[in-house]
Every structure is written in structure tokens, then in C-alpha cells.
């Protein structure tokens, strides 16, 4: 009966701004990265980043090898926050540019993973292994990737086509009896390639925390066990490429509940199976892509203490999707793509019963490049959704590179989010009821960006955006004191993103990013909230890092700051901001790379924290250590 996550907002981090300036622009004034030549897929047609109107971050496999979880790998990207309800295995999502976590679309190789019952995806159910890169596209992307892509998209790319044979084994042990082990084998034989990457992780999760009264406790019923395998088989010959990907996951975890309402015996069992088949043909004149996918998610929740209306609670979500894309390259100055897609989603739940949502869509994208330094990209999509109706979205942008060291980007887009099946069909029980009359949430977004590389090995990027949301869905009590979801008038979210990357020498690399948000609630539901900041959105987030040494032997230091978050619509209560400092030492000898990481959180006044809360009532550990060893052949 609730949105998938609490809606994630700051006051100041003066010390942090100094740190950002130290790790970022100060070093950027020395030698530094040339204008990025990376190719991204923020559009249907892959293109060079500086001539792509969208704002995109790419997380490489090198960065991911030092991250224990997907959440950790994503958390340092610009304008990204990770609302989490606990330690390993706990429910967590991603908020991009202040959007709700259900308004950010998670994909595996372009296939949607958000489930239809809750509209979100739990990041803890996708451990890191066998991944080549992760792309984060910020801003409305519904005209390219459909509903849910209001804040942006996260596209996880598996390494199905390795260039050589490798075997990688990584084992880690961490605080609170936490363990992680994974193995990845990549094989290339002639035209065939293979990827297989199984893994296992577990944790007792018994970390200390301080409650709201200042009393120390140990987190109970917080254990977790997860196991998975990512596998792929690829074939590539001449202009043809075909491959199959699967990701299987299974977990068992305790659900400790909130501080005010603990659940000492609650258990949750989650599993999913993702199966993707793709075929691609590409020539100089035309490209054809076709895909089939099946995604099945299963969740069961048991609580022997609090007997709810439906206990145990069970849900199963199944998505079947088929799509085809035609890309024409030989039109003068144009690259035109046409995409047809059909998606059938079914949710079977002990709460809402059985419901089906079918979506048919057609999308067009036209990339016009009249000059070598100018690109104009327009895209539009028309979607027919069985239980919602017809929705049309568009995006239009331009990127120009007047000189070799500077690019300017502009984009206007519309996006939407369909109500979840829980929002629509929650039964009239336990003081709550769904609302079948709900309209989709919509957004119109404007953004302007500047990318410069004034010196060798230095890049500086700044983006400003303004997003106007309409028909936001909010659960609130009705006249009969029954909680129901309603469309409210909307909100404004605007902000600035700044990122700096520099490599003054082969022994030193520095980076930093800062995101500043300003949010305004345009609804008076609940009373007293009009004109106030939206809840759980920090108004400033800063991340900086420095890496000293060569790729095989290095020391890295990172400092972060997350600002204050309002936790009530009237802004009468808030959670304080916090700093985090993390350090890592890695030393590779031959095929072996031992490493150790340490993270400590500090209060706004820079006192060490035993625990902190990103979401009210759900403590997170204030200090932890990971030590590991990696074998690579």
C-alpha cells in the first residue's frame, strides 16, 4: 500500500566544499583527461559522449572491482543518492536528480527490471560480478526507455564478449561477520564467447547503533545470505552478433524493522530469474536488433509476531518482452531508428490478487549531424498501456563542440510513471485502499550542460536542470480515515551538477562531484506542506577521491558529504547531514591482489558516528572494514 521507497534533500557542508575544491579544481589546474572519447548508449544509436545531449556517467569495471556492492558502486556518481534500510541485503534503491526511487529505471543490457507491482527494483538483489560497465543517464528518458525513467536510468552491461580468456576469483571478509566470494570466467574461442560468474555472500549484520534516545544497542534479526550466477553465451561473425544472458539470484534475510516497530522474527525470501536473448546485424547502411526477454521475481515475507491481513505475504511478478529496432545510417546527415516493443507484465500477490498490464509501444529517434561539431537528437515514443491508456513522450536536444576542448549540451524532455499495481488495486483492508482512478505521474524537464577539457588529462562538467512534476502520487488519509493514493498537484526540482576529473601524472588521479538540489512541494497535501522542501532529498551531496600510485599498487582516499534531509512534509523534523571518509590500499603481486578498505562516518560537527540514518528509523553502521584478495589469470 506504500510507494516502493521513502522519498529521499541539505544544509551546508562547508568543510566538504573545501575538500571538493582541494581534490577537484585545484588539481584540475595542472596537467590533466582530454575530451572524453567514450561511446555511450544514452540514445538508441551509440555515440561519442561529448556529442550526446544527455547527461551520462559511466562506471567501469576497474572502479567496480573495489566496490563490495552495486549500491556502493553507484553511490559516487553525480546527483545520485542510495536510500537504504540497512546493511548487506537490506532493501535499497537509487534516486537520480531527486526523483523517487520508483521513478528511476534499472536495466540489464537495456531490459527493464523494475517490477510492476511496486514500480521499483531492489539493488541488493543484484550483486556485483561479471559486469563490464554501468551507465547512468540522468534526466527524463521515457521517450527512449518507457515509463519509470523519469529521474533517469541505470543500465548494467554484462561482459558477454570478452577480448581474451580470463579467470578472476575474489574473496572478501568484512565487519559484522560479512563475507563475499565470486568467481568470473571469460572464454573466447573463435567466433564464440562465454561468461560465467557465480557468487555467494552473507552477513550477521549485528552492528551497534544508537537509538533516538541516545541508548546503544546491537541490531538484531539482520542476518543475510545471497547466492547468484550471471552467465552468457555469445556468437559474433562478420556483421552478425547473437547472445544469451541469464542472471539467477536467491536470498534469505532477517527483516529487523524500524526502531519504533521492530520485527524480531520477520523473514524475507527473494529470488529472481532474468533471461535475455538478443540478435544484432550491422552494416554501414543499416542495423537491425531484436530481443526476447523473460523476468520473474518472487518474494515471500513471514512474521510470527505481527500477524497482518496477509501473513505470510507472497508476490510474484513476471515480465515477458519482445522488441525490434531498425537503424538507417545512409540518410544524408541523419541516423534514423525505429523501435517496436511489446511488454506483458503480470503480478500475482496475496495482497492484490492477480493483475496483468500489457504495453505496446513505438519509438522514433532521429540523430541529425549537419556538421562534424554539431548533433541534434530528437526522440519520441507512443505507448498504449492496457490499464492506464495512451501516453506520448518526447525528447529533443543538441550538442555542439565548437572547439576541441569544449562541448555545450541542451535537452528538453517529457517523461511519465504509471501507477504501480499496489497503488491501483490494494484491497480495502487494514485501513488502506488502492485507487483505480489514478493518473500517471508526468514530468517536463529542461537541462543545460557544459563539458570542458582545458588541459591535457582534465575534464570539468557542469549541468543545470529544472524539472516540473505533475500528478505525483501520494498516500494520505481520506475523510473516512482510510489511507488512499491520490494524484496531487506536483513539485519542482531544480539543481546543479559539477564534476571534475584530473590526472596530473601517471601516479596521481583525482576526481570530485557536487550536486545541489532545490525542491518545492506545490501541493498542500498534507496540510502545511505547500511551498516546503520535499522529504528525504539532501540539498547537497559531495564526493571527492584521490588515487596515488600505479594501477597495480595504489592508495585511494575518498571524502563525502550528504546534507540534511527533511523527514516530514511540513519540514518540522529532519535528519542531520553526515560525512564519510573511506580509504583503500591495494597491492598487486603477479596474479594476486590483496586489498583492504576502511569507512568511517562523521556527524555534521565531525564527531565519529557509531551509526547514522539515511531513512528515519533505520540505522546504518557508522564504521566498517573490508579486506580481500583477488586472483586474476
Assess if residue 1 is contained within a domain: no
How high is the pLDDT of residue 7?
34
At 87-110, the pLDDT tens digits run 999 999 999 999 988 899 999 999
Buried residues in 532-544 as b, exposed as e (16+ CB within 10 A): bbbbbbbbbbbbb
Return all residues near 502 (Cβ < 8 A) that are at least 6 apart: 24, 27, 28, 30, 32, 33, 457, 458, 459, 509, 510, 511
Give mean pLDDT, residues 515-524.
Answer: 93
pLDDT at position 136 is 92
* Residue 5 falls inside a structural domain: no
Cis peptide before 112 (omega within 30 of 0): no
**What's the number of CA atoms in the CB half-sphere (13 Å) around residue 458?**
19
Q: How far is CA 516 from the centre of its chain?
A: 18
CA atoms 112, 115, 116, 118: torsion sign? negative
**β pairing state of 152-158 and 104-108:** parallel
Question: Is 578 a member of any domain?
Answer: yes
H or E stretch covering 425: helix 421-425
Each residue's pLDDT tens digit, 328-364 = 987 778 889 999 999 999 999 988 999 999 999 999 9
- pLDDT, tens digit (0-9, with 9 covering 90-100), for 544-588: 999 999 878 999 999 999 999 999 989 999 999 999 999 999 999
DSSP letter (8 states) at residue 436: T
Integer CA distances (angstroms), 532 to 541, 572, 602, in order: 20, 10, 28
Secondary structure, 3-state, 453-468 = CCCCCEEEEEEEEEEE
Task: Give me the pLDDT at residue 8, please.
Answer: 33
Task: Say whether pLDDT at 73 is over 80.
Answer: yes
How far is CA 138 from each of CA 77, 95, 99, 241, 411, rounded to the nearest angstrom?
Answer: 10, 10, 10, 29, 11
Residue 612 covered by a domain = yes
What is the band of 476 on the pLDDT scale with cuts at 50, 70, 90?
confident
Q: What is the pLDDT of residue 32?
A: 31
**Angstrom distance (rounded) from CA 410 to CA 400:** 9
Quick check: 620 and 88 in contact, CB under 8 A? no
Asked whether the predicted pLDDT for residue 255 surpasses 60, the reply is: yes
For residues 128 and 28, which has the higher predicted lDDT (pLDDT)?
Answer: 128
Report if residue 421 sits inside a domain. Answer: yes
Exposed / middle / buried, residue 371 (Cβ in 10 Å: 0-12, 13-18, 19+): exposed
Cell of 70: 552495486
Q: Are 227 and 199 in contact (CB under 8 A)?
A: yes
What residues make up the domain containing 525? 14-632
What percent of the chain is predicted at pLDDT more than 70?
Answer: 91
User: Is residue 23's pLDDT more than 80?
Assistant: no
DSSP track, 502-571: EEEETTEEEEEEEEEEEEEE---SSTT-TTSPPTT--SEEEEEEEEEE-SSEEEEEEEEEE--EE-STTS
Instruction: Quote the pLDDT of residue 62.
Output: 77
Region 419-424 average pLDDT: 93
DSSP-assigned beta bridge partners for residue 356: 346
- The alpha helices in 246-328, defined as continuous H runs, are none
What residues does 190 pair with on adjacent strands?
none
Tell which residue, 459, 541, 601, has the closest CA to residue 94.
541
**Length of the chain in residues, anyone?**
633
Q: Which three cell numbers stand for residue 274?
A: 532474468
**Do residues 497 and 462 lie in contact, with contact meaning Cβ atoms separated by under 8 Å?**
yes
Mean pLDDT of 492-514: 94
Return the CATH number at 223.
2.40.170.20
Residues with Cβ within 8 Å of residue 419, at least 6 apart in sequence = 119, 388, 435, 438, 439, 440, 441, 473, 485
Mean pLDDT across 436-465:
93
Strand-pairing partners, residue 228, are 199, 249
223-234: average pLDDT: 97
With DSSP H G I counted as helix, E B as strand and the rest as coil, what are the percentages for the chain, rounded to 5? 5, 60, 35
Highest-scoring range by mean pLDDT, 176-180, 401-405, 482-486: 176-180
> Which pLDDT score, from 0 to 100, does residue 118 have?
85
Residue 4 lies inside a defined structural domain of this protein: no
- pLDDT of 484 strictly over 50: yes
pLDDT, averaged across the chain: 88
The total number of structural domains in the chain stands at 1
Residue with more model confidence, 508 or 48: 508
Q: Residue 448: name the closest of 478, 491, 412 by CA.
A: 412
Residue 375 and residue 181: Cα distance in Å, rounded? 45
Quick one: CA dihedral 118, 151, 500, 506, positive or negative?
positive
Decide if 464 is inside a domain.
Answer: yes
Cα-flanking dihedrals φ and ψ of residue 25, to 5°? -60, -30
DSSP string of 35-77, one letter each residue: SP--EE-SSSS-EEGGG-SSEEEEEEHHHHTT-SSHHHHHTTS
Nearest Cα neighbor of 332 from 388, 292, 288, 370 is: 370
The whole-angstrom distance between residue 272's C-alpha and the CA centroid of its chain comes to: 18
- CA 10 → CA 16, 113, 537, 540, 609, distances in Å? 13, 31, 7, 5, 18
More confident residue, 120 or 411: 411
- 409, 382 contact by CB (below 8 A): no
404 domain-assigned: yes
pLDDT at 527: 83
User: C-alpha angle with apex 261: 255 to 265, nearest 5 degrees?
Assistant: 40
Amino acid at each position: 500500500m506504500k510507494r516502493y521507497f521513502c522519498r529521499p534533500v541539505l544544509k551546508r557542508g562547508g568543510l566538504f566544499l573545501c575538500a571538493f575544491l582541494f581534490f577537484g579544481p585545484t588539481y584540475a589546474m595542472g596537467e590533466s583527461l582530454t575530451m572524453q572519447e567514450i561511446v555511450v548508449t544514452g540514445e538508441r544509436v551509440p555515440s561519442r559522449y561529448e556529442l550526446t545531449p544527455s547527461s551520462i556517467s559511466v562506471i567501469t569495471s576497474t572502479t567496480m572491482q573495489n566496490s563490495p556492492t552495486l549500491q556502493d558502486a553507484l553511490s559516487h556518481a553525480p546527483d545520485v543518492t542510495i536510500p537504504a534500510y540497512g546493511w548487506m541485503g537490506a532493501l535499497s534503491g537509487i534516486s537520480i536528480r531527486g526523483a523517487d526511487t520508483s521513478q528511476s529505471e534499472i536495466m540489464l543490457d537495456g531490459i527493464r527490471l523494475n517490477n510492476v507491482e511496486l514500480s521499483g527494483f531492489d539493488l541488493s538483489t543484484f550483486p556485483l560480478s561479471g559486469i563490464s560497465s554501468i551507465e547512468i543517464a540522468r534526466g527524463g528518458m521515457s521517450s527512449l526507455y518507457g515509463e519509470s525513467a523519469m529521474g533517469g536510468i541505470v543500465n548494467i552491461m554484462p561482459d558477454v564478449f570478452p577480448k581474451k580468456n580470463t579467470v578472476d576469483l575474489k574473496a572478501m571478509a568484512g565487519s559484522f561477520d560479512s563475507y563475499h566470494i565470486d568467481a568470473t570466467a571469460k572464454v573466447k574461442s573463435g567466433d564464440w564467447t562465454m561468461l560465467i560468474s557465480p557468487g555467494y555472500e552473507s552477513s550477521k549484520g549485528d552492528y551497534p547503533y544508537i537509538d533516538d534516545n541516545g541508548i546503544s544497542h546491537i541490531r538484531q534479526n539482520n542476518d543475510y545470505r545471497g547466492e547468484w550466477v550471471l552467465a552468457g553465451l555469445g556468437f559474433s561473425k562478420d556483421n552478425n552478433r547473437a547472445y544469451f544472458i541469464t542472471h539467477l539470484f536467491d536470498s534469505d534475510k532477517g527483516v529487523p524493522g524500524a526502531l519504533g516497530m521492530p520485527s524480531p522474527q520477520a523473514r524475507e525470501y527473494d529470488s529472481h530469474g532474468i533471461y535475455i536473448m538478443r540478435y544484432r546485424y550491422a552494416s554501414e547502411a543499416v542495423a537491425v536488433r531484436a530481443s526476447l526477454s523473460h523476468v520473474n521475481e518472487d518474494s515471500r515475507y513471514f512474521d510470527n509476531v505481527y500477524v497482518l491481513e496477509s501473513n505470510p505475504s507472497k508476490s510474484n511478478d513476471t515480465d515477458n518482452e519482445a522488441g525490434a529496432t531498425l537503424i538507417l545510417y545512409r540518410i544524408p546527415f541523419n541516423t534514423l531508428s525505429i523501435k517496436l516493443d511489446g511488454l506483458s507484465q503480470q503480478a500475482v500477490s496475496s495482497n492484490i490478487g492477480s493483475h496483468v498490464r500489457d504495453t505496446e509501444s513505438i519509438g522514433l529517434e532521429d540523430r541529425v549531424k549537419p556538421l562534424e561539431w554539431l548533433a541534434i537528437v530528437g526522440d519520441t515514443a507512443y505507448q498504449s498501456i492496457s490499464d492506464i491508456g495512451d501516453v506520448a513522450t518526447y525528447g529533443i536536444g543538441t550538442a555542439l563542440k565548437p572547439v576541441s576542448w569544449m562541448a555545450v549540451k541542451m535537452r528538453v524532455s517529457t517523461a511519465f510513471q504509471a501507477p504501480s499495481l499496489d497503488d491501483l488495486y490494494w484491497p480495502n483492508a487494514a485501513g488502506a485502499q488502492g485507487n483505480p482512478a489514478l493518473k500517471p505521474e508526468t514530468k517536463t524537464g529542461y537541462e543545460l550542460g557544459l563539458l570542458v577539457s582545458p588541459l591535457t588529462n582534465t575534464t570539468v562538467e557542469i549541468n543545470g536542470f529544472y524539472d516540473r512534476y505533475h500528478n505525483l502520487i501520494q498516500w494520505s488519509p481520506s475523510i473516512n480515515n482510510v489511507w488512499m493514493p491520490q494524484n496531487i498537484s506536483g513539485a519542482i526540482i531544480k539543481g546543479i551538477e559539477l564534476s571534475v576529473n584530473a590526472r596530473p601524472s601517471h601516479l596521481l588521479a583525482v576526481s570530485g562531484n557536487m550536486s545541489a538540489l532545490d525542491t518545492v512541494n506545490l501541493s498542500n497535501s498534507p496540510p502545511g506542506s505547500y511551498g516546503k522542501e520535499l522529504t528525504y532529498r539532501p540539498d547537497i551531496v559531495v564526493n571527492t577521491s584521490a588515487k596515488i600510485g600505479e594501477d597495480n599498487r595504489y592508495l585511494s582516499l575518498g571524502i563525502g558529504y550528504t546534507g540534511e534531509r527533511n523527514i516530514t512534509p511540513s519540514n518540522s523534523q529532519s535528519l542531520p547531514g553526515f560525512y564519510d571518509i573511506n580509504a583503500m590500499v591495494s597491492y598487486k603481486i603477479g596474479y594476486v591482489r590483496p586489498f583492504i578498505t576502511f569507512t568511517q562516518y562523521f556527524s555534521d560537527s565531525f564527531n565519529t558516528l557509531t551509526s547514522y540514518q539515511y531513512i528515519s528509523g533505520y540505522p546504518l553502521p557508522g564504521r566498517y572494514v573490508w579486506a580481500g584478495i583477488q586472483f586474476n589469470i
